[in-house]
Amino acid sequence: ELCFRVPTRSPAEQPQKHYGITSAISLAPPRDIDHQYTQKLCDAMKPFGVFEDEEELNHRLAVLGKLNNFVKEWIAEISELKNLPPSAISCVGGKIFTFGSYRLGVHTKGLSGVVLAPMLLCESACWREHLSRGSGQQSAAAVEDAFVPVIKFKFDGIEIDLLFARLALQSIPDNLDLRGDSILRNLDIRCIRSLNGCRVTDEILYLVPNKENFRLTLRAIKLWAKRRGIYSNMLGFLGGVSWAMLVARTCQLYPNAVAATLVHKFFLVFSKWEWPNPVLLKQPEESNLNLPVWDPRVNPSDRYHLMPIITPAYPQQNSTYNVSTSTRTIMSEEFKYGLSVTDEILQGKAEWSKLFEPPSFFQKYKHYIVLTASASTEENHLEWIGLVESKIRVLVGNLERNEYITLAHVNPQSFPGSKENRNENDFVSMWFIGIIFKKVENAESVNIDLTYDIQSFTDTVYRQANNINMLKDGMKIEATHVKKKQLHQYLPPELVQKKKRVSLWSLSHTHTHTHTQSVTVCVVFNRSSRLSLQSIAELNRSSNGGNPKRMSLDNSHLDTSRDTDSGTPFSSPTSEPSKPVSDMDDR
């Protein structure tokens, strides 16, 4: 299969080129043993379905070809309505440019692209109608009020996300190069955002020394990140484009290495990286387009980014602005653990499968907060959990600022609500946040009140739902504190009873934030009346409409919905006052 080819060309056959903002750490060519380890890496990834076979590849190409034909037909129709001569109509063009995992060549399912149209088109509104008429898709959903407007639909069994951009060109040739900054001239901000994904993806591929080695390494790192629960831009971890840039930087530092070596060097480099020093694939270039870019010298807010990974295409942005103190701590620990495992693998002491073993999240912490999102219908539930998921990092931030909390670790995977913990007719999803409390000196018991942290989170969610007219009867979010031994009330036995493997690494590399205090921790939620639509409206007026929109070119659509693990969230306080949770000892 094409996916399993291991590049064997000798570096001596390739002209050596300087990549990145520094010189390479090593130019050493791969040894025979490195190729053998790379083949074993491929074999270990195969059961996880990360490679696409020839039939799937051809099907995806056929779908993309059909969609491109729809684009050209649509633009031709508009051209006729505008009375363009036949000679001009035949040349006006139009095309879908892919981005994200598909364009990088590491896709497994789904497809993301941007429809590029010439300046004669005024808007994308009629594109959805034409798409439904031409392709027979009645389920195309337009999200026009999103930061980057997108149309989501399924075509021939493949999930598609399409953005739209109108360029300041008379025609759109098939060989159009989007890398030049001049393509952005005279475009509105929404079109610039839509183009950003393609431009960043193209620039990443241009800046790596060997695309095949890069792609295989990226497949491995993405699989590892998903298996370890740290793949979610929305929840404050990293999304697809951020992982791609870290892998690309590793490839620049070791330009002649093959995938097995690059995976090991990836963990070596980023387990020792001194954040918040930014990761850059190239020096940011100046432009006279005056678009907002990431620059801590100019923008004070950029100085507070914890783990900056800067996109290489103008306008340069930080793709990891969602990262929090907790998520950076968790990812840093995972980098160190990945280094220890790959050390063992390359020493012949372990197999690659060990790298992809999931963590024991439900054995790792003594305390958890269970977030529950529920709605009375399936349609409302899907809409509701999408909103709550996008706000969970607000709760994590609130918890991090609590003086008694060291770390808040949200599990990106959501779980269906158990029958015992929901109404019979409700649709329920749950999220779990592991909590580590600070050690309190000279105290036998500590009462920790999380009322404000929870209430401000629920206020944010309900306010946003009200602002976009989403809030419906039956939509609720709830928070419950549980100890590890109570998790069996919410989760299936195989998750909570899994025995954690003890390795030499875990014995010698205990979490620096883990403590052994023997004190009673009593977590209290003082629950007020459930928020009503009227009280939400009052809350809105008093806060002047909630949080202001970002003024920078936010990179939210570089990490598409394909890259974010789906999950669920959280509920407003009940009318009954809660009792302090008993038996909260931290032993």
The CATH number of the domain holding residue 547 is: 3.30.70.590
Are residues 518 and 423 located together in one domain of the fold?
Answer: yes
Closest CA to 191 of 119, 142, 261: 119
401 and 305 together in one domain: no
Q: Count CB neighbours of 165 within 10 A.
A: 25
Range of the domain at 221: 2-8+23-49+207-356
Residue 23: partners with Cβ closer than 8 Å, 6 or more residues away: none
Domain end residue (candidates: 156, 176, 202): 202
Residue 339 lies in a domain: yes
Domain match, 472 and 548 both: yes
Annotation-wise, does 20 bind a ligand?
no
Whether residues 394 and 527 share a domain: the answer is yes
179 is a domain residue: yes
Is residue 365 included in any domain, yes or no?
yes
Cα distance between the two ends of the chain: 53
Residues 517 and 372 occupy one common structural domain: yes
For the ranges 133-137, 280-284, 549-553, which has the lowest average pLDDT?
549-553
Residue 220 has which token pair? 């491995």
Is 82 annotated to bind a ligand? Reply is no
Band (109; pLDDT cuts 50, 70, 90): confident
CA gap 333, 446 in Å, rounded: 28
Count the Cβ atoms, other than its own, within 10 Å of residue 253: 21
Give the span between the Cα atoms of 108 and 73, in whole angstroms. 29
Q: Is residue 312 part of a domain?
A: yes
Return d(Cα 551, Cα 53) in angstroms, integer.
Answer: 43
Whether residue 215 is found in the same domain as residue 241 = yes
Gyration radius from the chain CA atoms: 25
pLDDT tens for 337-391 read: 999 999 999 999 999 999 999 999 999 999 999 999 999 999 899 889 989 998 9
Mean of pLDDT over the chain: 80
293 is in an annotated binding site: no
Q: Are residues 182 and 215 in the same domain?
A: no
Task: Give the predicted TM-score (pTM) of the model.
Answer: 0.82
In three-state secondary structure terms, 376 is: coil
> Is residue 576 in some structural domain?
no
Residues in the chain: 587
Higher pLDDT, 359 or 581: 359
**Which helix H or strand E contains 117, and what residues bound it?**
strand 111-117
Report the alpha-carbon distance of residue 558 to residue 198 in Å, rounded.
9
For 564, other C-beta atoms within 10 Å of its C-beta total: 19
> Which range among 195-209, 455-469, 542-556 shows the weakest confidence by mean pLDDT?
542-556
Q: Is 566 annotated as a binding residue?
A: no
Please check whether residues 384 and 371 belong to one and the same domain. Answer: yes
Confidence at residue 121, expressed as pLDDT on a 0 to 100 scale:
66
The pLDDT confidence band at residue 301, using thresholds 50, 70 and 90, is very high
Pairing between β-strand 150-155 and β-strand 158-166 as defined by DSSP bridges? antiparallel
Within this chain, do residues 258 and 290 fall inside the same structural domain, yes or no?
yes
**Within a domain: residue 16?**
no
Q: What is the CATH number of the domain that holds 163?
A: 3.30.460.10
Q: How far is CA 358 from the centre of its chain?
A: 18
Q: 240: domain CATH number?
A: 1.10.1410.10
Confirm whether residue 241 is marked as ligand binding: yes
* Domain end among 202, 231, 263: 202
161 marked among binding-site residues: yes
In a domain, 419, yes or no: yes
Residues 213 and 186 in one domain: no
Number of structural domains the chain divides into: 3
Residue 236 annotated in ligand binding: no
pLDDT greater at residue 285 or residue 375: 375
CB neighbours of 96 closer than 8 A, spacing ≥ 6?
64, 67, 68, 71, 113, 114, 115, 116, 162
Distance of CA 573 to the CA centre of its chain: 29
42 and 112 both lie in a single domain: no
Q: Which of 278, 282, 290, 279 is nearest to 315 (CA)?
A: 290
Q: Which of 21-30, 114-123, 135-144 shows the lowest per-residue confidence on average (mean pLDDT)?
A: 135-144
Q: Are residues 108 and 189 in the same domain?
A: yes
- Judge whether 582 lies within some domain: no
Rounded-to-integer distance, Cα 460 and Cα 477, Å:
11
The CA distances from residue 443 to 225, 446, 521, in Å, are 39, 7, 10
Q: What is the SS3 assignment for 284-346?
A: CCCCCCCCCCCCCCCCHHHHHCCCCEECCCCCCCECCCCCCHHHHHHHHHHHHHHHHHHHHHH
Of the residues 160, 180, 202, the one at which a domain ends: 202
Q: What is the pLDDT of residues 412-461, one digit of tens each?
A: 999 998 766 666 668 999 999 999 998 877 767 778 889 899 999 999 99
